[in-house]
Amino acid sequence: MSYGFQRSATGRIVLRVDQVERGLLASVARQVIDLVKPEEQAADSDPLAAQFGWVDGEVGPSDDPAVARLLPDAYSDAADASEFRRFTEHDLRQTKVQHATTVLAEIERSGDKITVGSADSWLGTLNDARIAIGTRIHIAEDNHEELASLPEDDPRAGLFHVYDWLTFLQESLVRCLNPSLYGFSDDDIPVIDD
């Protein structure tokens, strides 16, 4: 079992995982990529629009609730929200894909000790995965205990456990990056051997 992200004696942030956890993290990163990757531009689209990733016409939120939660409307007015999406959604999706691709590359080049090269990518990917899973299992502040006590044969139980583990990992990474948020000084954070 993982102890979460920790600082090494040389100041690097590392995550020690077993083979199952490593595979699960890689799978989560791949699923984030599949969920948010931008659609291919049509061959006959405006070259300038294609170059910048702009979409022709109106763009609404995704029909997939998880994607709609990951890429919410920026404005309450539908026309303004559509116009904003037209010019920004492609780049937002590309950024999320790049974060998950970076995480996947760090996982794939590592063994049981993953060295974090891009904490921003890890935070973004963990957050995106948590939002997607939380949306799928309808997690809310008032039903956390209910979901935690689901019987193992409930299909949501496994997703809840993954959600809970990703939450733990995200919190441990934030703690490594900014111990003062938790009332600690840098000296209070345990350091592991390299």
Determine the Cα–Cα distance for residues 33 and 98; give it in Å rounded to an integer: 8
Q: In which band, very low, low, confident or very high, does the pLDDT at 11 lie, cut at 50, 70 and 90?
A: confident
At 65-114, the pLDDT tens digits run: 999 999 999 999 988 988 888 888 889 999 999 999 999 999 999 888 99
Of 90, 54, 88, nearest in space to 74 by CA = 88
Handedness of CA 86, 90, 93, 95 (dihedral sign): negative
Structure tokens at 179: 């111990």
Handedness of CA 20, 22, 25, 31 (dihedral sign): negative
Query: Residue 1 above 60 pLDDT?
Result: no
Query: Residue 49 above 80 pLDDT?
Result: no
Structure tokens at 62: 């995704």
At 129-152, the pLDDT tens digits run: 999 999 999 999 899 899 989 999
Contact 126, 169 (CB under 8 A): yes
Handedness of CA 8, 174, 118, 22 (dihedral sign): positive
Residue 178 confidence (pLDDT): 80
pTM for the model: 0.85
Measured at the CA of 122, the angle between CA 55 and CA 131, to 5 degrees, comes to 60
Q: Hey, how many other C-beta atoms are within 10 angstroms of the C-beta on 130?
A: 20
Residue 38 confidence (pLDDT): 84
Average predicted confidence (pLDDT) for the chain:
86
Q: In which band, very low, low, confident or very high, does the pLDDT at 30 lie, cut at 50, 70 and 90?
A: very high
